[in-house]
Amino acid sequence: MTDDLFRSDAYLRECRARVVRADEAGIVLDRTVFYPQGGGQAGDSGHLLVADGREVAIADTRKGKDAEGRATDEIVHLPAPGQSELLGTLKPDDAVTARIDWERRHKLMRFHTATHLLCHLVPQPVNGCSITPEYARLDFHMTDPLDKEALTTGLARLVAAGHPLAVSAITDAELDANPALVKSMSVQPPRGTGTVRTIRIGDAEQIDFQPCGGTHVANTREIGQVIVTKIEKKSATTRRVVLGWAA
């Protein structure tokens, strides 16, 4: 399995690592700061710096899959096309520096944290989520209309309040006893290790608390100016809220 350093520190921009295997289908390292696409959040891009100073461009990051298509504990760095010669020189146990595109990731962290604030403002089940550097969207399972301006104002208030974010964990048994903690209908928290990672926003006043495996900023103030750019009625029972950066 790959040691996923971003889970305990989302602010790590690079790490030293060793190659487990490398070919055009993907590069697996023993540890990484690259977040693999999941929970609606886009995978990281960046570079792997090789000992002789050359760089392998990484276009995207995914979870590994076994022969039956089930997710494994491996993280696969997908090389940008046209690097077969350089990839051919990478051997198991080679030392590399894995460095993410931090500007892009920071946008993902800011948007991702903003989607948690939306969950506070719209306390309805979520049945879809997509977080990219350019926009984020959440689909709420609900029939009532939503007000774009009111949500933008609500987000601005929660950002300005500077609520801290804390990462913790609960046991599978605690989660089973509190099924309402899972607000997402589309993404189930990863089980199997006995504990589930949780995100709490706010200390004196709890803004949001739910299982989440993504990357977040440490304080809501760091989100900056996000606005609701669109509210769509995707179906009779789905309202889609799209977030963008303020101009």
Task: Give the Cα separation of 113 and 115 in Å (integer).
Answer: 5
Q: Which candidate, 120, 97, 243, 132, places its Cα nearest to that of 183?
A: 120
Closer of 110 and 239 to Zn ion (Cβ): 110
Closer of 45 and 113 to Zn ion (Cβ): 113
Question: How many C-beta atoms surround the C-beta of residue 169 within 10 A?
Answer: 13
Closer of 45 and 215 to Zn ion (Cβ): 215
Closer of 117 and 199 to Zn ion (Cβ): 199
Q: How many residues bind Zn ion (CB under 5 A)?
A: 3
Task: Give the Cα separation of 95 and 115 in Å (integer).
Answer: 37
Contact status: 212 vs Zn ion (CB under 5 A): yes
Closest distance between Zn ion and the C-beta of residue 113, in Å? 7
Candidate segments 73-81, 125-133, 210-218, 231-239, binder of Zn ion by CB under 5 A: 210-218
Amino acid at residue number 118: L
Q: Which candidate, 90, 68, 69, places its Cα nearest to that of 79?
A: 90
Of positions 118, 126, 214, 228, contacts Zn ion by CB under 5 A: 214
- Contact letters (x/-) for Zn ion, 163-202, by CB under 5 A? ------------------------------------x---
Whole-angstrom CA distances from 187 to 1, 39, 126, 165 are 22, 6, 9, 21
Q: Tell me which residues touch Zn ion (CB under 5 A).
A: 199, 212, 214
